[in-house]
């Protein structure tokens, strides 16, 4: 399995180029199999990471809440988890944060976002049009690549039907029925003073599986179908040219 502390480089080596090699939708399948994180949590005594991928209501349900957590909440780096410098994760920083500890790892958020510090810095002194040449120029997302807030503007979420116009939508601790300006203040409420801004372009995140993630939020059955395909490929991949052993291994008697 992929190393959670490495992120999308590991996904590419293990899933895209190996397990799902030859599949046109390799990144979609990679994102789909990651959806199993909607169940359970990471515990320091086992992995060194700490928290749940879903909120308290959904942490025990096999559903698409993992993808909603990715895109409908705000995330910022939490370095040296429990004092371990090798364990870095992302913590929820939007106004909906509760005592229920939620996390994302580099291996999760990198599917949706890149680190694009140059674009964020450009926006501090210029317009989006002036900074357009820097769009899509970031690096693979990692908690150690700079303190920032991973969040998405509501405009694109309504455009992609991730959020439903005219209906109550939970977003960064708010309930909204339409796209609004200024939602960043809710999504990145406790990002910290040392943040350089948005990790990626909030109006158009550029992670390698972003479109798949949108589709999985739109329709849970789309995720379940892709999850089934990804699971079968991951567990049924064999190796050609194997032959039976000529002799049986002897048991060692104590």
36 within 8 A of 21, measured Cβ to Cβ: no
Per residue in 7-58, pLDDT (tens digit) is 888 888 899 999 999 898 999 999 999 999 999 899 999 999 999 999 999 9
The percent of residues in the chain predicted with pLDDT above 70, rounded, is: 92
β-bridge pairing 114-115 and 139-140: antiparallel
Per-residue pLDDT, 92:
97
Q: What is the mean pLDDT of residues 120-128?
A: 92
End-to-end CA distance of the chain: 34
Which pLDDT band, with edges at 50, 70 and 90, does 144 fall under? very high
Pick from 143, 145, 141, 165: nearest CA to 154: 165
Going from N- to C-terminal start, the domains of the chain cover 8-236
Query: Residue 206 above 70 pLDDT?
Result: yes
Per-residue pLDDT, 22:
87
Per-residue pLDDT, 182:
86
Which pLDDT band, with edges at 50, 70 and 90, does 251 fall under? very low
């Amino acid at each position: 399995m992929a190393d959670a502390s490495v992120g999308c480089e590991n996904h590419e080596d293990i899933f895209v180029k190996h397990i799902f090699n030859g599949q046109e939708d390799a990144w979609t399948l990679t994102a789909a199999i990651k959806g199993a994180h909607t169940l359970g949590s990471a515990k320091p005594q086992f992995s060194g990471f700490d928290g749940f991928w879903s909120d308290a209501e959904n942490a025990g349900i096999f559903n698409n809440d993992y993808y909603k957590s990715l895109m409908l909440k705000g995330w910022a780096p939490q370095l040296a988890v429990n004092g371990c410098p090798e364990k870095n994760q992302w913590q929820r920083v939007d106004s909906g944060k509760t005592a229920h500890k939620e996390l994302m790892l580099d291996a999760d958020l990198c599917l949706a976002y890149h680190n694009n510090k140059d674009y964020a810095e450009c926006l501090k002194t210029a317009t989006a049009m002036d900074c357009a040449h820097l769009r899509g120029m970031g690096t693979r997302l990692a908690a150690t690549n700079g303190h920032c807030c991973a969040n998405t503007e509501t405009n694109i979420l309504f455009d992609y039907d991730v959020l439903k116009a005219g209906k109550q939508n939970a977003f960064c601790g708010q309930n909204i029925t339409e796209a609004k300006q200024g939602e960043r203040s809710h999504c990145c409420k406790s990002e910290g003073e040392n943040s350089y801004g948005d990790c990626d372009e909030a109006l158009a995140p550029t992670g390698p599986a972003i479109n798949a993630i949108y589709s999985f939020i739109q329709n849970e059955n789309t995720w379940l179908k892709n999850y089934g395909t990804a699971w079968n490929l991951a567990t049924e991949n064999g190796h050609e040219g194997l032959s039976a052993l000529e002799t049986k291994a002897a048991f060692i008697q104590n």
